[in-house]
Structure 1
Amino acid sequence: MITTTHTRRLAFVVAALALLAIVCVCSVKFGVRSISTDDAINALLGHSDTTEQAAALKRIPRTVLGIVIGAALAVAGTTMQAVTRNPLADPGIFGVLSGASLAVVIGITFFSMSGAVITMIVAVIGSAAAAVFVYTVGSLGRGGATPLKLALAGAATTAALSSLVSAILLPRIDVMDKFRFWQIGGVGGAEWDRMSMAAPFLGIGFVVVLAMTTGLNALALGDDVATSLGENVLRTRIVASIGAVILCGVATALAGPIAFVGLVVPHITRMVVGTDHRWLVPCSALAGAVLIVAADTFGRVITRPSEIAVGIIMPLIGAPLFIWIIRRQKVKEL
């Protein structure tokens, strides 16, 4: 028997896939030079028979990177919220994005680091170090790692790490010029080579999180109940966190720190598909992909022939959405 919840989930998947197809066509169609919808669709199918199709074909890597980054950050945020049972958990708020940024900047500035693979590895290490630090600080004192303490520890850590990044870059004009656009966060510098190198890391991250979805459902019931159901709580938290950190670190290495995706997308998706992470994780990936590609396209359209990076657009979209979510939750509680 098909339940209402199951129908709603299937409808969400179909709608998200349709929206993703539409925003992908728009992403290829719009830019400094607008291209017809037919040429955009033909370019997505791999054709380059005309000048317009050839121009559209060059926008495909950017579109693909937007899909990948949106899915990775959304899944990372969903996982962090489940692991910490904190609705405010997000790679940006918890300092994970800033940790990756600081690690990459230190590697490039002081160790002349180069190469896509080593950059991704260093970003993952920085993300992991920041996540461990925030969780450790948030766990101190009475009550352990409460949502409020984790959020405060994350906000303070993000501010401190961001200041360190600025302090390192400001005296070094050459490095700052090279990475100032990366710091803002965007998908304009998409390259097939870098994405192909990132694919194995991202694949591992997605597989790890998907493998932990049943365990994440158990964690939502509380540690005691999860343990009574036979779930190894510590192992689930560690393994799921590793998957989230990999996704976040690699996404930051590819596109720079992009905030609000991992915070807003899980909340919106949860309203429709419910709290079952077997559905929530893949649906969040779809919604995150739609959001980033749409935001990037919007940033290219509103200021043509120039553009606004998606790292700037996302707070403008994410902040009002998050305020709406908070107000909606308060109304429900009343």
Structure 2
Amino acid sequence: MAVLNVALLFGGESLGHDMSMSIARSVYEALDTKRHSPILVGVAPDGRWWLQEDTKEFPSYVNSSGAQLTLLPAGGGKAIVHGQEYLRTCDIDVAFPISPCGGAGLLEAAQVPFVGSRGPAPAICSDKQITKRVLRDAGLPIVKYLALTAREEVKFQFAQEALCSCSLFVKPARIYNSIGVSKVTCESEFLTAVDLAFSYDSKVLVEECVQARELECAVLQDVERPRELSCSWPSEIISDGQGFYTAQAKLDEKGVVFKTRAELDEATAHRVRSLSCEAFKVIGCEGLARVDIFMRPNGELLVNEVGNAPALGPGSAFSRMMEGSGMGYKVLVQRLLEDAIRRSERPRAIL
């Protein structure tokens, strides 16, 4: 059996950098060295790719003083490694991007098989407003929202009335992991939250505060039969303190309970799983996705977010849900790499 060169892309901009490093280390340790030879590519904050050479173990930081790596367009995985005093090439068989910068478009242009979605899904999911519009236009239920591109565009009372909600959520449109998100109940909190969100992004969403259970599903695509999706039993996030799953809670898991198997009857779980699969198809995801669902006390379901590139550490929600479905972490990593290669050999699926 040929040993495949697996490029792990990690690091990137400051937001999410440490989480990317941690997850990449876990993937690195989960690789079957009899099948895979890792190529460690650290992404610097300025976006340049640096080959992490001469490392006997996973690095603790991105070394930006060695050789840079550049993929050749349409090169099928051929890359140029250019150091200060040398120039050589290397071949990448499959890539596992774990950087906040993603890199899906670049990998697709270079014709490199990679874990994650090709095509429009990464671009759609990178913007919460676009995601919501695509879901809404397909007839799927979503949380009501307003989009702002300037601080003076909307007043708190107007937003309350427009969204039929006393409390509101304010969040950057293109930043994830709950960074810059605030729950507000008055004018002064609203203004502070809008300023905070705009400090991260030039577009901000104001959403209704939904009193609901927070459910999640892990969706995995069958590479041989792309229209067939397997979906985990819904998990549930029970937040404490600030009343929502904050960025800090995602890091240290304090004040939050993650139930891998939510307490739901079969009929309700089926509805949640069906809606998750439908959201996967509508967005055009490939391979895998995590779908977040709100369930109101009356049973009404709303799609909150679709993560086409969910965090894939062993303790991440997607991995824990897959483990609850009988697929351990090392098996999941192997499955994703194998599927990425086989998927690249076929035209993009139309779901």
TM-score (norm 1): 0.26
Q: Higher relative CO (CA 8 A, sep ≥ 6), structure 1 or 2?
A: 1
Whichever structure has more strand as a proportion of its residues is 2
Whichever structure has more helix as a proportion of its residues is 1
TM-score (norm 2): 0.25
